Amino acid sequence: MTACVRRGLAAVLLLLWAGGALAGEADVLAVEAAQDGAGTWRFEVTVKHADEGWEHYADKWEVLAPNGTVLGTRVLLHPHETEQPFTRALGGVAVPEGIERVTLRAHDSVHGLGGAEVTVELAR
């Protein structure tokens, strides 16, 4: 096998190996927050991710207190390959008094956390 063929084969193998990671991280694009009860909130979150099927997709988003405590998690049960970006809601999130802002972040099944986050002020 010539050096040129070996380099070409190595490049193809690298692309095949990295192929599952091409979609990148899941990004939160927008958030709407509304108080839906005494101390509970409803969040509508728009996420963008280049879902590639069951092997690589945005699989959840989280609501975080300023200290990093997870207040709520919306599990996403399937890939959204043909619906990008997509918006999903989560209600009944208990946000303790005194917390004036929360951060929302998304997670994907390959990269985990790391995409764009959005912080919103809570109008009580």
Residue 48: give its domain's CATH number.
Answer: 2.60.40.730
Residue 11, in any domain of the structure: no
Residue 67, in any domain of the structure: yes
Between 78 and 8, name the one with better pLDDT: 78
Question: Rounded to two decimals, what is the model's pTM?
Answer: 0.79
Q: Is 91 exposed, middle or buried (0-12, 13-18, 19+ CB in 10 A)?
A: middle
Checking if the pLDDT of 14 tops 70, the result is no
Determine the Cα–Cα distance for residues 35 and 25; give it in Å rounded to an integer.
29
Residue 9, in any domain of the structure: no
Residue 101, in any domain of the structure: yes
Residue 95, in any domain of the structure: yes
Checking if the pLDDT of 23 tops 70, the result is no
Confidence class for position 20, pLDDT limits 50, 70, 90: very low
Q: Residues 93-121: what's their mean pLDDT? A: 94
Q: Residues 9-34: what's their mean pLDDT? A: 64
Domain span at 31: 23-121
Residue 18, in any domain of the structure: no
Checking if the pLDDT of 7 tops 50, the result is no
Q: Residues 103-109: what's their mean pLDDT? A: 95
Domain count, the chain: 1
Confidence class for position 5, pLDDT limits 50, 70, 90: very low
Structure tokens at 105: 């972040």
> Starting at the edge strand that comes first in sequence, how are the strands of the sheet with 118-121 ordered?
70-75, 58-64, 101-108, 118-121
